């Protein structure tokens, strides 16, 4: 018998389910470790602290800096906002009523879409206020996610659960407490979206005691199923704090953030050749042996 190809939302849901199973397995392993340790709760606590430190370090390696994380979040929010705008434009009240769902469902999903658009505006303005260029544009193709209302809702549910895990995965790498707090205000709302949409597909609104963070690569692999071209930063003049030149070496603080050099030092690697000179010469301003 020929097997029916899996739809797009089925593939996404499978990826989310895999992460949930992995989390359950991990919790079982930790519980067993405590039992085997014989009063090993304290040891596990120390191990957990070490693991959290390792997690933070690993997550930090996935991103260049806080700006990179902000644009990563903005990319996901652009995808979600586009998804809801296109889906709701395709399915009117009548289409939802034909499924036998309560009349409140479409207005609630409209509100979810408005939240995602607000997240896009917030993240865009935050990046601009920092003096950098936010990603914009991009082209998305949602394929069979728009086959019918059920597919639309199932894909929305998968996207929202993925979004929660994406914010959790990026959070340990954020260095600015204000940006971390801002990301948290979005992540909690994404969690509410996920809970509501879980109910719409007859799943538990709170399927586990802990949510599983996803790495950047895992999230982008899921999102890539919808992406024709990724959003990209627009060419824009650097203004504000990023345009400052704290050490007066001719490289703006924004330039130095991108290079990884210290904006308060003329010569980051201490090789007696200034950062700006090394950049102009094509040598590495972070390597004292390369000047």
- The pLDDT score that the predictor gives to residue 9 is 53
Task: Measure CA 23 to chain center.
Answer: 19
Residues 58 and 76 occupy one common structural domain: no
Q: What does the pLDDT read at residue 192? A: 97
Task: Kindly state the helix (H) or strand (E) to which residue 139 belongs, with its residue range.
Answer: strand 139-140
Decide if 234 contacts 259 (C-beta within 8 A).
Answer: no
Count of residues making up the chain: 291
What is the domain extent for residue 32?
27-62
Whether 113 is covered by a domain: the verdict is yes
Residue ending a domain, choose from 12, 47, 62: 62
* Whether residues 194 and 104 fall in one domain: yes
Residue 127 lies in a domain: yes
Residue 7: what pLDDT? 55
Closest by CA to 167, choosing from 146, 149, 192, 144, is 192
Whether 58 and 72 map to the same domain: the answer is: no
pLDDT in tens, the chain (291 residues): 445 555 555 556 565 555 445 544 433 433 333 333 333 333 333 334 444 444 454 555 689 899 999 999 999 999 999 999 999 999 999 999 999 999 999 999 999 999 999 999 999 999 998 888 999 999 999 999 999 999 999 999 999 999 999 999 999 999 999 999 999 999 999 999 999 999 999 999 999 999 989 999 999 888 988 999 999 987 655 555 656 777 777 788 777 887 888 888 888 888 888 888 878 777 888 888 876
- The reply to whether 196 and 208 lie within a common domain is yes
What is d(CA 107, CA 118) in angstroms, rounded to the nearest whole number?
A: 16
222/262 same-domain check: no
- What is the number of domains present in the chain? 3
What pTM was computed for the model? 0.66
Backbone angles phi, psi at 229, to 5 degrees: -135, 135
What pLDDT is attached to residue 30?
Answer: 33
Beta bridge partners of 140: 227
| The pLDDT of residue 265 | 85
- CA pair distance 113, 282, nearest whole angstrom: 46
Domain match, 167 and 84 both: yes
DSSP 150: H
Same domain, 227 and 127: yes
Q: Based on DSSP, count helices (H) and strands (E) in the chain, helices before strands.
A: 10, 4
Q: Is 22 inside any structural domain?
A: no
Q: Clarify whether residues 148 and 195 are in a common domain.
A: yes
- Residue 69 is encoded by which pair of tokens? 């994380």
DSSP designation for 204: -
133 lies in some domain: yes
Query: Are 127 and 196 contained in the same domain?
Result: yes
> Based on the number of CB atoms within 10 Å of its own CB, is 61 exposed (0-12), middle (13-18) or buried (19 or more)?
exposed
């Amino acid at each position: 018998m020929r097997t029916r190809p899996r739809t797009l939302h089925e593939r996404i849901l499978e990826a989310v389910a895999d992460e949930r199973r992995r989390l359950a397995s991990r919790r079982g392993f930790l519980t067993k470790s405590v039992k085997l340790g014989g009063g090993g709760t304290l040891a596990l606590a120390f191990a957990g602290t070490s693991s959290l430190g390792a997690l933070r370090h690993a997550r930090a390696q996935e991103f260049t800096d806080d700006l990179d994380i902000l644009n990563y979040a903005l990319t996901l929010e652009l995808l979600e906002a586009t998804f809801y705008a296109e889906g709701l434009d395709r399915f009117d009240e009548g289409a939802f009523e034909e499924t036998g769902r309560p009349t409140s469902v479409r207005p609630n999903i409209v509100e979810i879409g408005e939240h995602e658009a607000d997240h896009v505006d917030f993240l865009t303005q935050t990046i601009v206020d920092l003096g950098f260029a936010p990603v914009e544009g991009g082209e998305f193709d949602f394929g069979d996610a728009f086959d019918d209302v059920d597919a639309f809702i199932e894909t929305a549910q998968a996207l929202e659960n993925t979004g929660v895990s994406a914010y959790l995965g990026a959070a340990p790498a954020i260095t600015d407490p204000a940006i971390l707090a801002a990301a948290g205000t979005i992540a909690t709302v994404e969690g509410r979206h996920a809970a509501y949409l879980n109910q719409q597909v007859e799943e538990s609104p709170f399927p586990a005691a802990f949510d599983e963070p996803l790495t950047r690569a895992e999230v982008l692999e899921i999102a890539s199923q919808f992406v024709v071209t990724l959003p990209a930063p627009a060419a824009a003049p650097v203004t504000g704090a990023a345009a400052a030149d704290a050490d007066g070496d001719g490289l703006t603080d924004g330039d130095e953030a991108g290079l990884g050099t210290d904006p308060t030092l003329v010569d980051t690697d201490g090789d007696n050749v200034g950062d700006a000179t090394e950049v102009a010469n094509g040598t590495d301003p972070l390597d004292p042996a390369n000047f």
